[in-house]
């Protein structure tokens, strides 16, 4: 029961901090940032394939957006849940922008599956750990794998967030798991 009580206490503390931050208390928002920074960073780091620079940018963007949209937090869920969803939206929006930019910059077929740093060879390297294998996945497959297997989203939620069909989400998950398995067996 202690964990239930501590979660309830944290929710109350976050609620008080959110109320203070809504009234312009930057120190309260800084406390929210400090409390949730590591979890948000881990999420965006996985979603962007282990690119630390991009993960830092997305971390900052997520908290800027949270500050701007703080009034839209109704308190129906924990602040951490609301922030997590907002962060996923920031990361997916950034991915869509990078994909469009790549499509404009190159006439090559399949440019949409490339990351902003260029095409990644899924089969490069040997004896890699799980995080490295995930980071080498094509972007859509990596996004679905992280959201489904790591973050616990349903295929319907992923489809809505990523703008794809539920069947495409399932296919991308199957593809991602197969590629990771092959990579880890090397």
What's the CATH number where 95 sits? 1.10.1740.10
Identify the domain boundary among 93, 117, 141.
117
- The reported pLDDT for the residue numbered 95 is 84
Is 91 in the same domain as 163?
Answer: no
Q: How far, in Å, CA of 41 to CA of 58, rounded?
A: 8
State the pTM of this model: 0.65
Is 124 in the same domain as 110?
Answer: no
- The reported pLDDT for the residue numbered 104 is 60
Identify the domain boundary among 117, 136, 161.
117
Using CA of residue 94, residue 98, residue 99, residue 100, what is the dihedral sign? Answer: positive
- The reported pLDDT for the residue numbered 116 is 44
**125 lies in which domain range?**
120-186
Q: Take residue 119 and report the two structure tokens written for it.
A: 């095409």
Which parts of the chain register pLDDT below 50? 1-2, 4, 107-128
What domain count does the chain have? 2
pLDDT digits (tens, 9 = 90+) for 29-57: 999 999 999 999 999 999 988 899 999 99
- The reported pLDDT for the residue numbered 11 is 54
- The reported pLDDT for the residue numbered 132 is 86
Is 145 in the same domain as 81?
Answer: no
Is 99 in the same domain as 151?
Answer: no
């Amino acid at each position: 029961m202690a964990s239930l009580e501590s979660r309830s206490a944290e929710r109350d503390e976050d609620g008080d901090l959110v109320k203070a931050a809504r009234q312009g208390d930057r120190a309260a928002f800084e406390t929210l940032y400090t409390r949730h920074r590591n979890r948000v960073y881990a999420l965006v780091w996985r979603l962007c394939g282990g690119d630390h620079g991009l993960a830092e940018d997305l971390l900052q963007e997520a908290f800027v957006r949270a500050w701007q949209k703080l009034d839209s937090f109704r308190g129906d869920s924990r602040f951490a849940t609301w922030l997590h969803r907002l962060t996923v939206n920031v990361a997916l929006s950034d991915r869509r922008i990078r994909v469009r930019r790549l499509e404009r910059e190159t006439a090559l077929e399949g440019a949409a599956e490339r990351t902003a740093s260029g095409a990644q060879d899924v089969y490069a390297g040997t004896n890699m750990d799980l995080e490295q294998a995930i980071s080498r996945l094509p972007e859509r497959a990596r996004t679905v794998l992280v959201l489904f297997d790591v973050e616990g989203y349903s295929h319907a939620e992923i489809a809505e967030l990523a703008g794809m069909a539920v069947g495409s989400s399932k296919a991308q998950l199957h593809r991602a798991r197969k590629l990771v398995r092959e990579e880890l067996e090397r």
